[in-house]
Amino acid sequence: MPFKAPDVAIDLGTTNTMLYVHRKGIVVNEPTLVVVETRDHHLVRAVGDEALYLMGRTKDTMTAVKPIKDGTIADFDAAEVMIRYFLRKAIGSSHLVKPRILVSVPTSMDSVSRKAVREAVSVAGAKEVLLVEKPLAAAIGSGLPVYDPTGSMVVDIGGGTSDAAVIALGGIVVAQSVKVGGERMDQAIIDYLKKNSSVVIGGPTAEDLKKDLACATAVTGENTVTHVRGFDLLAARVMDVEFTAAQAHDAITEPCMAIVACIRWVLERTPPELAADVMRAGIHLTGGASQLLGLDKLIAAQLGIPVLQAREPGDATITGMGYLIENPDLLASVAHSAINAN
Ligand SMILES: Nc1ncnc2c1ncn2[C@@H]1O[C@H](COP(=O)(O)OP(=O)(O)OP(=O)(O)O)[C@@H](O)[C@H]1O
Ligand SMILES: [Mg+2]
């Protein structure tokens, strides 16, 4: 029986959870989702990929629970069960000494929510829990010179939150996060269709429309038209309605502008020398929702600063956390400086 479990990093995302194990790399990348019995939420039927598979096929007897909402634990029991399940998948359950676990949190998370994260991970099977701010991990994962005196800016746009931070000398100088991300964009498309076409669509359909049709910048060329199947509230039956790229743009404009406002807030509070560095080197985007068509161009146009997209935007945070796991000295310095250890 192996004595001591290896260090583990968990990027506890609103949409996706990823685990990195010391000397192994990324071993889990699954939806942040749990399916439970409707009559008793303690009876867990599936977690992660299996839960997503079941979600579209569940009967009334089963309910899908999202343990994390807007980057924060929304259902403590479901979060604990999910983390325990992923940990077992990542390292097994036969170690005598539990692992030390590094977990990502949004920069604006309050101390009560941080405590809930620590508690859930601890109960799920950690000897010690360390927290790291998402944009700091994302910046390290993107290979930015975070330990230099020059300022780097990273904006992590995930499913539930967008975290903007200016980083220098290994720590966060100014940061802000908003509870706006890819899932809010999906909801905006759902709301738009309901309001303007009286049609109700589901989350997965909205997500497809966001990825395939929506663009953050105004539609200038051909206004692509697609057909959406949903439940027509007026006709009381399933119908196909037309949805154009211009309409999709209108729908997602508000969440996109909220992200721009968050970045602007950080820039306005950044010391001038560091702001000048950011103007020169550009803003680095990470997170799955940063792949929204035109979002980079919108941010660049609104703020007058070049914007660069990470090569693997969805993996940047866990990659940075993995780097910290592999370099205990850096982990210790991050744990003492940038992390609110409450
Ligand atoms: N090509 C794409 N275009 C637009 N959005 C995308 C694309 N690919 C993925 N997304 C969106 O990215 C989001 C998930 O991103 P990510 O995995 O970074 O979030 P997360 O880490 O789980 O959430 P958070 O960090 O906010 O808690 C989803 O809303 C998904 O729809
Ligand atoms: Mg994330």
- Please say if the pLDDT value at position 340 is more than 70: no
Q: Are residues 260 and 243 in the same domain?
A: no
Closest by CA to 5, choosing from 105, 125, 123, is 125
Q: Report the pLDDT value the prediction gives residue 342, as an integer from 0 to 100.
A: 37
Q: Take atom 4 of ligand 1 and give the residue whose Cα is closest.
A: 292
Whether 62 maps to a domain, the answer reads no
Whether 282 maps to a domain, the answer reads yes
Pocket test for ligand 1, best of 15, 132, 162, 189 (most atoms within 8 A of CB): 15
The CATH number of whichever domain residue 285 belongs to comes to 3.30.420.40
For the segment 89-130, what is each residue's pLDDT rounded down to a tens digit?
A: 999 988 889 999 999 999 989 999 999 999 999 999 999 999
Q: Take atom 8 of ligand 1 and give the residue whose Cα is closest.
A: 288
* Calpha distance 315→143 (Å, rounded): 12
Whether 342 maps to a domain, the answer reads no
Are the CB atoms for 280 and 236 separated by under 8 Å? no
Whether 45 maps to a domain, the answer reads no
Pocket test for ligand 1, best of 12, 16, 309 (most atoms within 8 A of CB): 16
Q: Are residues 211 and 258 in the same domain?
A: no
Ligand 1 pocket, 48 CB below 6 A? no
- Please say if the pLDDT value at position 338 is more than 60: no
Of 226, 251, 276, at which residue does a domain stop?
251
- Tell me the pTM: 0.94
Of 203, 222, 251, at which residue does a domain stop?
251
The CATH number of whichever domain residue 247 belongs to comes to 3.90.640.10
Distances, alpha carbon 262 to alpha carbons 95, 258, 299, in Å: 43, 6, 11
Q: Are residues 258 and 199 in the same domain?
A: no
Structural domains counted in the chain: 3
Q: Tell me, in angstroms, the distance from the centre of ligand 1 to residue 273's CA.
A: 32
Ligand 1 pocket, 194 CB below 6 A? no
Whether 48 maps to a domain, the answer reads no
Q: Report the pLDDT value the prediction gives residue 24, as an integer from 0 to 100.
A: 97
Q: Are residues 19 and 85 in the same domain?
A: yes
Q: Are residues 151 and 275 in the same domain?
A: yes
Q: Report the pLDDT value the prediction gives residue 126, as an integer from 0 to 100.
A: 95
* Calpha distance 104→316 (Å, rounded): 12
For the segment 182-231, what is each residue's pLDDT rounded down to a tens digit?
A: 999 999 999 999 999 999 999 999 999 999 999 999 988 888 999 999 99
Domain that holds residue 171: 142-180+253-314
For the segment 291-321, what is each residue's pLDDT rounded down to a tens digit?
A: 999 999 999 999 999 999 999 999 999 999 9
